[in-house]
Structures are given as structure tokens and as C-alpha cells.
């Protein structure tokens, strides 16, 4: 089946769902890499890790945990920068 676009009108405009004090993306340190994204209308968010950029199969799929204000987060052991 072809993917379709779904627009949740007036959902992401709510101030309570605006992550004003959070940095999105990733933050790395030698002991762990933290991934944070914002998706207030999602029921599930997964982080998919690949060994390279050449179209290989994913090596890990990590479910992110839902937090406040539509934020999702996962900590992965080790420094995954690069």
C-alpha cells in the first residue's frame, strides 16, 4: 500500500505540546548517545540504526520512550557520533 499524508489539525499548535526548553536531535558522550525527537501525535517512535549509508539492512531498532509535551527519547550505550 502507498503511504498517505495525515494532518492532525490544531494538535501540534497547542502550547502544551511545544518543546520550548529541549534540544532535539542527538547528544553524544563516551558512555552514551541520547536521541530526542518531537512527535506529539505519534503512538510509537523507533530509532533505526544502520551500519553504513550504502543501503544496508538496519542493525538495531530501538523504541523511544514517550515523555512530556510530545517528546520521545532513547539512550543508547556508547558514543554513536559519526
Place of cell 542493525: 59
The whole-number pLDDT of residue 16 equals 61
pLDDT higher than threshold 90 for residue 80: no
Is 45 within 8 Å of 39 (Cβ atoms)?
yes
The whole-number pLDDT of residue 52 equals 84
Report the alpha-carbon distance of residue 4 to residue 37 in Å, rounded: 21
Kindly indicate the confidence band of residue 75, based on its pLDDT and cuts at 50, 70 and 90: very high
7-62 tens-digit pLDDT: 666 666 666 666 667 788 899 999 999 999 988 888 999 999 888 888 788 899 99
Nearest CA to 67 among 38, 26, 28, 29? Answer: 38
Amino acid at each position: 500500500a502507498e503511504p498517505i499524508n495525515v494532518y492532525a489539525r490544531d494538535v501540534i499548535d497547542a502550547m502544551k505540546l511545544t518543546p520550548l526548553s529541549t534540544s532535539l536531535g542527538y547528544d553524544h558522550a563516551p558512555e552514551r548517545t541520547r536521541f530526542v525527537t518531537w512527535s506529539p501525535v505519534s503512538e510509537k517512535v523507533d530509532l533505526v540504526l544502520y551500519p553504513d549509508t550504502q543501503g544496508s539492512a538496519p542493525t538495531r531498532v530501538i523504541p523511544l520512550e514517550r515523555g512530556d509535551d510530545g517528546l520521545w527519547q532513547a539512550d543508547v550505550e556508547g558514543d554513536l557520533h559519526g
